[in-house]
Amino acid sequence: MLVICAQCLSSILCLRVGENLNIGIVGLDARKWKKEKVLVVQEVVEAILCGRELEPYVKGDSRVVQAWLYQIQRKITLVSGDCPIGVRGIFCIDCNKWLTGGEIGYHRRFLFHKAVEAYSDGGVDTWAKISAVKLGVSVRTFPAVCTSTSSSIETCKQKYAKEDAYVKRQHFWNYHYKPRNLKIARSLDVGYCLTQAVDEQDALGYCYHCDVKGHTQSGGCYVMKKARKLGKEVYVVVI
């Protein structure tokens, strides 16, 4: 069987023709993106899944896995986190909109449109899921389920609603987001974190996961950090 190696940055990714390639796409939720950058981010997500160059979209270092790598390895799966920000609903790809209660029933009974269940403000996770379904790419998401009680994040949000900020932050990081992020890091073969460019002088312009200035920190950066330690091919795409 043909083995092809592509050396990028500091590691080597080996692919065998016909095997599945897990592409991890993570990043900021929708609330943290500037409105004028949302469409660009969505285009970048689609470009990644199609194997296109990211040069027209990104700021600074834009080294990415080349398109030919995807053309050889066509069986791909999106790996992402199902970011639980906003309202969980149904997005119709053919209608290009979130469906209301009455529309959901009509679509299910009479139409054969492609639809995605996701969170309205999930940002990169949601946009990646929508693009993958649109392109016919398999999707594998990791919800932030509580590892202590197996409860959904919505259940824990209600349970911890009256707790102070520190207690809530510790619970959701240690029992929801951190375990979810580690699962993504272990599952991906190639990883992309999409984040936003900020002024290096800005107090929020330092990412301690990447240990660099110039972009907004996110849990996606943590995923890339852990995946890199596992020898995975990872890229932080600053937009």
Q: What is the 3-state secondary structure (H, E, C) of the chain?
A: CCEEEEEECCEEEEEECCCCEEEEEEECCHHHCCHHHHHHHHHHHHHHHHCCCCCCCCCCCCCCCCHHHHHHCCCEEEEECCCCCCCEEEEECCCCEECCHHHHHHHHHHCCCCEEEEECCCCHHHHHHHHHHHHCCEEEECCCCCCCCCCCHHHHHHHCCCCCHHHHHHHHHHHHHHHHHHHHHHHCCEEEEEECECCCCCCCCEECCCCEECECCCHHHHHHHHHHHCCCEEEEEEC
Give the tens place of pLDDT for each residue, 102-117. Answer: 788 787 777 788 889 9
Q: What confidence tens digit (pLDDT) does each residue in 124-159 have?
A: 999 999 999 999 899 999 999 999 888 888 899 899
pTM of the model: 0.84
pLDDT tier, 58 (very low <50, low <70, confident <90, very high otherwise): low
How many other β-carbons are positioned within 10 Å of the β-carbon of residue 238? Answer: 21
Does residue 73 surpass a pLDDT of 70?
Answer: no
Domains, the chain: 3-86+123-238 (3.40.50), 87-120 (no CATH)
Using the predicted structure, report yes or no on whether residue 194 has a pLDDT greater than 90. yes
